[in-house]
Amino acid sequence: MLELLNDQLIKSAKMKTCIYFVILLVVLSGCQNNNFIKNNSRAAPLDDNEGYLGMVFNSLDPLSNIEIVNSTTAKSFYIGGANKGTSLKLLNLVEGEYCLHGFDVYNLRVDFKGEGFCTYIEPGELNYFNTFIVRDPVTVAMSDFNGFVKMMANQHSNICLEYIGEKCNQ
Amino acid sequence: MKQKSLFTLLFITQLIFANDSNVSCEKADTFFPYKAGVIAEKSSEVKAFAIYCNLALKGDYRSQNKLARYYFTGIPNELEPDKISAYVWSKLSISVIKSKKKEAFFKNMKNQLSESEILDAETLFKLIINTIPSGYRIDGQYKPLDLSDFLNQQQNQIKTGTRIKTKKSIRALNSINLP
Protein backbone atom coordinates (compact mmCIF):
# COMPACT_ATOMS: atom_id res chain seq x y z
CA MET A 1 0.00 0.00 0.00
CA LEU A 2 2.81 2.35 1.00
CA GLU A 3 4.76 1.40 -2.11
CA LEU A 4 1.77 2.24 -4.31
CA LEU A 5 1.40 5.64 -2.61
CA ASN A 6 5.09 6.27 -3.01
CA ASP A 7 4.90 5.41 -6.76
CA GLN A 8 1.99 7.80 -7.21
CA LEU A 9 3.85 10.58 -5.40
CA ILE A 10 6.92 10.06 -7.62
CA LYS A 11 4.70 10.05 -10.74
CA SER A 12 2.96 13.29 -9.72
CA ALA A 13 6.34 14.91 -8.94
CA LYS A 14 7.60 13.88 -12.40
CA MET A 15 4.43 15.27 -14.00
CA LYS A 16 4.89 18.58 -12.16
CA THR A 17 8.50 18.81 -13.34
CA CYS A 18 7.38 18.16 -16.92
CA ILE A 19 4.68 20.85 -16.68
CA TYR A 20 7.19 23.39 -15.30
CA PHE A 21 9.60 22.50 -18.10
CA VAL A 22 6.89 23.01 -20.75
CA ILE A 23 5.90 26.36 -19.18
CA LEU A 24 9.57 27.40 -19.16
CA LEU A 25 9.92 26.49 -22.86
CA VAL A 26 6.79 28.49 -23.73
CA VAL A 27 8.08 31.53 -21.80
CA LEU A 28 11.52 31.29 -23.42
CA SER A 29 10.07 30.98 -26.95
CA GLY A 30 8.03 34.13 -26.23
CA CYS A 31 11.24 36.01 -25.43
CA GLN A 32 12.87 34.99 -28.72
CA ASN A 33 12.86 37.70 -31.39
CA ASN A 34 10.97 36.27 -34.37
CA ASN A 35 11.97 39.13 -36.63
CA PHE A 36 15.63 38.14 -36.71
CA ILE A 37 16.67 36.03 -39.74
CA LYS A 38 19.35 33.40 -39.14
CA ASN A 39 22.14 32.80 -41.65
CA ASN A 40 21.05 31.03 -44.85
CA SER A 41 17.74 30.07 -43.32
CA ARG A 42 14.68 29.79 -45.55
CA ALA A 43 12.84 32.92 -44.53
CA ALA A 44 9.05 32.92 -44.62
CA PRO A 45 7.64 35.00 -47.49
CA LEU A 46 7.02 38.62 -46.59
CA ASP A 47 3.52 39.94 -46.02
CA ASP A 48 2.37 42.86 -48.18
CA ASN A 49 3.23 45.35 -45.45
CA GLU A 50 6.61 43.84 -44.52
CA GLY A 51 10.13 44.51 -45.65
CA TYR A 52 13.65 43.35 -44.77
CA LEU A 53 16.02 45.55 -42.83
CA GLY A 54 19.71 44.83 -43.34
CA MET A 55 22.50 46.55 -41.45
CA VAL A 56 26.20 46.02 -40.87
CA PHE A 57 28.15 46.68 -37.67
CA ASN A 58 31.86 47.31 -37.74
CA SER A 59 33.11 47.33 -34.17
CA LEU A 60 36.37 46.98 -32.26
CA ASP A 61 34.47 45.60 -29.27
CA PRO A 62 31.70 42.99 -29.01
CA LEU A 63 28.23 44.55 -28.83
CA SER A 64 25.16 43.11 -27.14
CA ASN A 65 21.47 43.98 -26.71
CA ILE A 66 21.33 46.00 -29.93
CA GLU A 67 18.03 47.86 -29.76
CA ILE A 68 15.86 48.92 -32.71
CA VAL A 69 12.74 50.98 -31.98
CA ASN A 70 9.68 51.50 -34.17
CA SER A 71 9.25 55.25 -33.89
CA THR A 72 5.48 55.09 -34.46
CA THR A 73 4.56 52.35 -32.00
CA ALA A 74 7.62 52.77 -29.72
CA LYS A 75 8.00 48.97 -29.80
CA SER A 76 11.56 47.83 -29.09
CA PHE A 77 13.30 44.96 -30.87
CA TYR A 78 16.39 43.51 -29.26
CA ILE A 79 18.27 41.91 -32.13
CA GLY A 80 21.06 40.31 -30.13
CA GLY A 81 24.70 41.22 -30.37
CA ALA A 82 27.51 41.70 -32.84
CA ASN A 83 30.96 40.19 -32.57
CA LYS A 84 34.19 42.12 -32.77
CA GLY A 85 34.81 42.91 -36.44
CA THR A 86 32.12 43.12 -39.10
CA SER A 87 28.68 41.56 -38.63
CA LEU A 88 25.52 41.57 -40.68
CA LYS A 89 22.06 41.76 -39.13
CA LEU A 90 18.89 40.97 -41.07
CA LEU A 91 15.32 41.37 -39.83
CA ASN A 92 11.86 41.32 -41.32
CA LEU A 93 9.74 44.19 -40.07
CA VAL A 94 6.42 45.84 -40.77
CA GLU A 95 6.62 48.98 -42.95
CA GLY A 96 7.45 52.09 -40.91
CA GLU A 97 10.22 54.14 -39.43
CA TYR A 98 12.75 52.35 -37.23
CA CYS A 99 15.64 53.77 -35.26
CA LEU A 100 18.85 52.20 -34.05
CA HIS A 101 18.52 53.33 -30.46
CA GLY A 102 21.51 51.83 -28.68
CA PHE A 103 23.52 48.79 -27.56
CA ASP A 104 25.68 47.48 -24.75
CA VAL A 105 29.47 47.48 -24.92
CA TYR A 106 30.81 45.29 -22.12
CA ASN A 107 28.95 46.64 -19.06
CA LEU A 108 28.28 50.08 -20.53
CA ARG A 109 24.94 50.98 -22.11
CA VAL A 110 25.22 53.29 -25.13
CA ASP A 111 22.04 55.16 -26.05
CA PHE A 112 22.23 57.59 -28.93
CA LYS A 113 21.09 61.16 -28.41
CA GLY A 114 17.56 61.82 -29.67
CA GLU A 115 16.07 58.89 -31.50
CA GLY A 116 19.41 57.68 -32.84
CA PHE A 117 19.82 56.60 -36.45
CA CYS A 118 16.47 56.28 -38.20
CA THR A 119 15.27 54.93 -41.52
CA TYR A 120 11.97 54.14 -43.21
CA ILE A 121 11.40 50.47 -44.15
CA GLU A 122 9.81 50.09 -47.57
CA PRO A 123 7.53 47.05 -47.90
CA GLY A 124 8.55 44.27 -50.28
CA GLU A 125 12.15 45.48 -50.38
CA LEU A 126 15.49 44.58 -48.84
CA ASN A 127 16.25 47.89 -47.12
CA TYR A 128 19.96 48.44 -46.56
CA PHE A 129 20.09 50.73 -43.53
CA ASN A 130 23.79 51.55 -43.26
CA THR A 131 27.15 50.27 -42.12
CA PHE A 132 27.68 51.44 -38.54
CA ILE A 133 31.28 52.06 -37.61
CA VAL A 134 31.22 51.77 -33.83
CA ARG A 135 34.16 53.56 -32.26
CA ASP A 136 34.76 55.29 -28.97
CA PRO A 137 33.37 57.96 -28.57
CA VAL A 138 31.25 58.21 -31.72
CA THR A 139 29.39 55.90 -34.06
CA VAL A 140 29.47 56.78 -37.73
CA ALA A 141 26.90 55.55 -40.26
CA MET A 142 28.32 55.04 -43.74
CA SER A 143 26.75 53.64 -46.86
CA ASP A 144 28.73 50.69 -48.28
CA PHE A 145 26.19 48.90 -50.44
CA ASN A 146 28.77 46.73 -52.25
CA GLY A 147 30.14 45.46 -48.94
CA PHE A 148 26.60 44.77 -47.75
CA VAL A 149 25.76 42.79 -50.91
CA LYS A 150 28.92 40.66 -50.48
CA MET A 151 27.91 39.78 -46.92
CA MET A 152 24.32 39.13 -48.00
CA ALA A 153 25.49 36.84 -50.81
CA ASN A 154 27.54 34.82 -48.30
CA GLN A 155 25.09 34.68 -45.44
CA HIS A 156 21.62 35.02 -47.00
CA SER A 157 22.10 34.02 -50.64
CA ASN A 158 18.41 33.22 -51.26
CA ILE A 159 17.10 36.55 -49.99
CA CYS A 160 19.94 38.38 -51.73
CA LEU A 161 19.06 36.86 -55.12
CA GLU A 162 15.36 37.38 -54.62
CA TYR A 163 15.51 41.05 -53.65
CA ILE A 164 18.78 42.45 -55.00
CA GLY A 165 19.28 40.21 -58.04
CA GLU A 166 22.29 39.53 -60.26
CA LYS A 167 24.68 41.66 -58.21
CA CYS A 168 24.66 38.85 -55.62
CA ASN A 169 26.36 36.51 -58.10
CA GLN A 170 29.24 38.87 -58.89
CA MET B 1 30.50 78.96 -58.77
CA LYS B 2 29.82 75.23 -58.39
CA GLN B 3 26.58 76.02 -56.55
CA LYS B 4 25.52 78.45 -59.29
CA SER B 5 25.98 75.85 -62.01
CA LEU B 6 24.05 73.34 -59.93
CA PHE B 7 21.12 75.72 -59.55
CA THR B 8 21.19 76.42 -63.31
CA LEU B 9 20.98 72.70 -63.97
CA LEU B 10 18.19 72.31 -61.43
CA PHE B 11 16.33 75.09 -63.19
CA ILE B 12 16.78 73.28 -66.52
CA THR B 13 15.57 70.01 -65.06
CA GLN B 14 12.56 71.75 -63.53
CA LEU B 15 11.76 73.19 -66.93
CA ILE B 16 12.09 69.80 -68.53
CA PHE B 17 10.19 67.94 -65.87
CA ALA B 18 7.44 70.49 -65.12
CA ASN B 19 5.89 69.86 -68.53
CA ASP B 20 2.73 72.04 -68.53
CA SER B 21 1.54 70.54 -65.24
CA ASN B 22 0.31 72.28 -62.09
CA VAL B 23 2.91 70.34 -60.10
CA SER B 24 6.54 71.32 -60.17
CA CYS B 25 9.59 70.47 -58.20
CA GLU B 26 10.12 73.57 -56.09
CA LYS B 27 13.01 73.90 -53.72
CA ALA B 28 11.55 73.91 -50.21
CA ASP B 29 13.11 75.82 -47.31
CA THR B 30 11.81 73.34 -44.75
CA PHE B 31 13.28 69.87 -44.57
CA PHE B 32 10.90 66.92 -44.81
CA PRO B 33 12.19 63.35 -44.41
CA TYR B 34 11.09 60.41 -46.57
CA LYS B 35 8.56 59.37 -43.91
CA ALA B 36 6.75 62.72 -44.40
CA GLY B 37 6.30 61.86 -48.08
CA VAL B 38 4.76 58.48 -47.21
CA ILE B 39 2.34 60.17 -44.79
CA ALA B 40 1.52 62.97 -47.28
CA GLU B 41 0.68 60.36 -49.96
CA LYS B 42 -2.45 59.44 -47.97
CA SER B 43 -3.86 62.98 -47.97
CA SER B 44 -2.33 64.89 -50.90
CA GLU B 45 -0.35 63.42 -53.76
CA VAL B 46 0.76 66.93 -54.76
CA LYS B 47 2.37 67.49 -51.35
CA ALA B 48 3.92 64.03 -51.47
CA PHE B 49 5.28 64.79 -54.94
CA ALA B 50 6.91 68.01 -53.67
CA ILE B 51 8.52 66.20 -50.72
CA TYR B 52 9.79 63.32 -52.86
CA CYS B 53 11.06 65.76 -55.47
CA ASN B 54 13.19 67.65 -52.95
CA LEU B 55 14.62 64.43 -51.56
CA ALA B 56 15.17 62.99 -55.05
CA LEU B 57 17.28 66.02 -56.00
CA LYS B 58 19.40 65.41 -52.88
CA GLY B 59 19.96 61.77 -53.89
CA ASP B 60 17.32 59.72 -52.02
CA TYR B 61 16.87 56.69 -54.31
CA ARG B 62 13.47 55.72 -52.82
CA SER B 63 12.10 59.20 -53.58
CA GLN B 64 13.55 59.01 -57.09
CA ASN B 65 11.60 55.80 -57.62
CA LYS B 66 8.40 57.35 -56.20
CA LEU B 67 8.85 60.32 -58.54
CA ALA B 68 9.25 57.93 -61.48
CA ARG B 69 5.96 56.26 -60.55
CA TYR B 70 4.20 59.64 -60.34
CA TYR B 71 5.54 60.66 -63.75
CA PHE B 72 4.56 57.28 -65.19
CA THR B 73 0.94 57.34 -64.02
CA GLY B 74 0.45 61.09 -63.56
CA ILE B 75 -1.67 62.78 -60.86
CA PRO B 76 -5.28 63.41 -61.92
CA ASN B 77 -5.81 67.12 -62.80
CA GLU B 78 -2.33 67.94 -61.52
CA LEU B 79 0.42 66.11 -63.37
CA GLU B 80 0.36 64.77 -66.91
CA PRO B 81 2.04 61.37 -67.38
CA ASP B 82 5.56 61.85 -68.74
CA LYS B 83 7.23 58.57 -69.60
CA ILE B 84 10.61 60.12 -70.46
CA SER B 85 10.88 61.77 -67.02
CA ALA B 86 9.68 58.53 -65.44
CA TYR B 87 12.41 56.62 -67.32
CA VAL B 88 15.13 59.04 -66.19
CA TRP B 89 14.14 59.06 -62.50
CA SER B 90 13.62 55.31 -62.47
CA LYS B 91 17.00 54.59 -64.02
CA LEU B 92 18.66 57.02 -61.60
CA SER B 93 17.00 55.30 -58.62
CA ILE B 94 18.60 51.94 -59.50
CA SER B 95 21.98 53.33 -60.55
CA VAL B 96 23.62 52.74 -57.13
CA ILE B 97 21.30 50.64 -54.94
CA LYS B 98 20.05 47.57 -56.75
CA SER B 99 16.53 46.28 -56.21
CA LYS B 100 14.72 43.62 -58.22
CA LYS B 101 11.34 45.27 -57.63
CA LYS B 102 12.53 48.69 -58.83
CA GLU B 103 14.35 47.12 -61.79
CA ALA B 104 11.19 45.26 -62.81
CA PHE B 105 9.29 48.56 -62.79
CA PHE B 106 12.01 50.16 -64.95
CA LYS B 107 11.97 47.29 -67.46
CA ASN B 108 8.19 47.38 -67.69
CA MET B 109 8.29 51.11 -68.35
CA LYS B 110 11.09 50.82 -70.90
CA ASN B 111 8.99 48.35 -72.89
CA GLN B 112 6.30 50.99 -73.29
CA LEU B 113 8.65 53.58 -74.80
CA SER B 114 9.47 53.91 -78.49
CA GLU B 115 13.10 53.75 -79.64
CA SER B 116 13.28 57.51 -80.20
CA GLU B 117 11.82 58.16 -76.73
CA ILE B 118 14.43 55.86 -75.19
CA LEU B 119 17.17 57.75 -77.05
CA ASP B 120 15.85 61.09 -75.73
CA ALA B 121 15.55 59.68 -72.23
CA GLU B 122 19.11 58.29 -72.35
CA THR B 123 20.49 61.68 -73.43
CA LEU B 124 18.69 63.32 -70.53
CA PHE B 125 19.84 60.58 -68.14
CA LYS B 126 23.50 61.20 -69.04
CA LEU B 127 23.02 64.87 -68.13
CA ILE B 128 21.20 64.10 -64.89
CA ILE B 129 23.48 61.36 -63.55
CA ASN B 130 26.42 63.78 -63.44
CA THR B 131 24.49 66.38 -61.47
CA ILE B 132 22.05 64.55 -59.21
CA PRO B 133 23.40 61.90 -56.81
CA SER B 134 21.64 58.65 -55.93
CA GLY B 135 21.92 55.83 -53.41
CA TYR B 136 21.16 57.77 -50.22
CA ARG B 137 18.42 57.23 -47.66
CA ILE B 138 17.51 60.68 -46.39
CA ASP B 139 15.54 60.13 -43.21
CA GLY B 140 16.79 62.96 -41.07
CA GLN B 141 19.03 65.96 -40.82
CA TYR B 142 22.24 65.53 -38.92
CA LYS B 143 24.10 68.41 -37.34
CA PRO B 144 27.86 68.53 -37.79
CA LEU B 145 29.56 67.07 -34.75
CA ASP B 146 31.88 69.20 -32.63
CA LEU B 147 34.58 66.78 -31.49
CA SER B 148 36.14 69.35 -29.13
CA ASP B 149 33.55 68.36 -26.49
CA PHE B 150 34.82 64.79 -26.56
CA LEU B 151 38.41 65.99 -26.43
CA ASN B 152 37.58 67.98 -23.29
CA GLN B 153 35.83 64.94 -21.80
CA GLN B 154 38.88 62.79 -22.45
CA GLN B 155 41.16 65.41 -20.89
CA ASN B 156 38.98 65.31 -17.77
CA GLN B 157 39.66 61.61 -17.33
CA ILE B 158 41.48 60.75 -14.13
CA LYS B 159 43.68 57.69 -14.28
CA THR B 160 44.03 55.74 -11.08
CA GLY B 161 46.05 52.57 -11.41
CA THR B 162 44.50 50.26 -13.99
CA ARG B 163 41.05 51.87 -13.74
CA ILE B 164 40.04 54.99 -15.63
CA LYS B 165 37.51 57.17 -13.86
CA THR B 166 35.62 59.89 -15.70
CA LYS B 167 34.00 62.86 -14.01
CA LYS B 168 31.00 62.37 -16.27
CA SER B 169 30.21 58.95 -17.67
CA ILE B 170 29.57 58.81 -21.40
CA ARG B 171 26.11 57.28 -21.54
CA ALA B 172 24.52 59.12 -24.45
CA LEU B 173 26.83 59.25 -27.41
CA ASN B 174 26.57 61.47 -30.41
CA SER B 175 26.10 59.97 -33.81
CA ILE B 176 27.12 61.22 -37.20
CA ASN B 177 25.83 60.12 -40.56
CA LEU B 178 28.07 60.13 -43.58
CA PRO B 179 26.68 59.58 -47.07
Check: complex ipTM more than 0.95: no
In contact, B31 and B88? CB cutoff 8 Å: no
The string of DSSP letters for B130-178 reads TTS--SB------PPP-THHHHHHHHT-EEETTEEE-SS---EE-EEE-
By CB neighbour count within 10 A (0-12 exposed, 13-18 middle, 19+ buried), where does B143 fall? exposed
User: Is residue A67's pLDDT more than 50?
Assistant: yes
Is the pLDDT reported for residue B6 higher than 60? Answer: no
pLDDT tens for each residue of A102-161: 999 998 899 988 888 999 999 999 999 999 999 877 888 999 999 999 999 999 999 999
Give tens-digit pLDDT for B91-133: 999 999 999 999 999 999 999 999 999 999 999 999 999 999 9
Is B137–A119 a contact, with Cβ atoms under 8 angstroms apart?
A: yes
Query: Residue B35: what pLDDT?
Result: 95
Cβ–Cβ below 8 Å for B137 and A140:
no
Going by C-alpha positions, the residue among A37, A125, A124 that lies closest to residue A77 is A37
Confidence (pLDDT) at A31: 45
Residue B29 confidence class, pLDDT cut points 50, 70, 90 = confident
Mean pLDDT within B19-36: 76
Distance CA A22, CA A105 (A): 34
CB within 8 Å: B96 and A145: yes
Residue of B nearest to A145 (CA): B97
Contact across the interface for A163 and B170, Cβ inside 8 Å? no
Which pLDDT does position A8 carry in this prediction?
74
At A59 the pLDDT is 96
pLDDT for position A42: 66
Q: Is A70 on the interface with B (CB under 8 A)?
A: no
Q: What is the pLDDT, as a whole number, of residue B7?
A: 43
Q: Do A165 and B139 lie within an 8 Å CB cutoff?
A: no
| B 104-143 → A contacts, CB under 8 A | 135-137, 139-140
Strand, helix or coil for residue B99: coil
**Do B173 and A124 count as a contact with CB atoms less than 8 A apart?**
no
Q: Report chain A's mean pLDDT, rounded to a whole number.
A: 85
B170 C-beta neighbours (distance < 10 Å), count: 14
* Chain B residue with minimum CA distance to A148: B97
- B139, B154, B173 ranked by CB distance to A120: nearest: B139
Chain B, nearest residue to A162 by Cα = B100
User: What value does the mean pLDDT of chain B take?
Assistant: 81
Partner-chain residue, chosen from A110, A120, A124, that has the shortest CB–CB distance to B38: A120
Q: Does the pTM exceed 0.90? A: no
Per-residue pLDDT, A28: 46
* Partner-chain contact B172 A145, CB within 8 Å: no
Phi, psi of A151 (to 5 degrees): -70, -40
DSSP assignment of chain A = -HHHHHHHHHHHHHHHHHHHHHHHHHHHHHHS-TTBPPTT--PPPPPTTEEEEEEEEEESS-EEEEEEEETTT--EEE---B-SEEEEEEEEEESEEEEEEEEEETTEEEEESTT-EEEEEPTTSEEEEEEEEE-SS-EEEE--HHHHHHHHHHH-HHHHHHHT-GGGG-
| Chain A residues whose beta carbon lies within 8 Å of the beta carbon of residue B35 | 97, 120
DSSP string spanning B3-64?
Answer: HHHHHHHHHHHHHHHHTT-S---PPPSS---HHHHHHHHHH-HHHHHHHHHHHHHHTBHHHH
Q: Report the pLDDT value the prediction gives residue A168, as an integer from 0 to 100.
A: 93
Nearest CA in chain B to A117: B175
Q: What's the pLDDT at A107?
A: 87
Give yes or no for A57 touching B (CB within 8 A). Answer: no
Rounded mean pLDDT, A50-62:
95
Distance CA B125, CA B112 (A): 17
Averaged pLDDT for residues B11-38: 69
Sequence-distant (6+) residues with CB within 8 A of B19 are: B80, B82, B85
Greater pLDDT, A102 or A26: A102
How far is the first Cα of chain A from the last one, in angstroms, to the nearest whole number?
A: 76
Predicted local confidence at residue A62, as pLDDT: 95
Q: How far is B145 from chain A (nearest CA, A)?
A: 10
B149 — pLDDT class (breaks 50, 70, 90)? confident
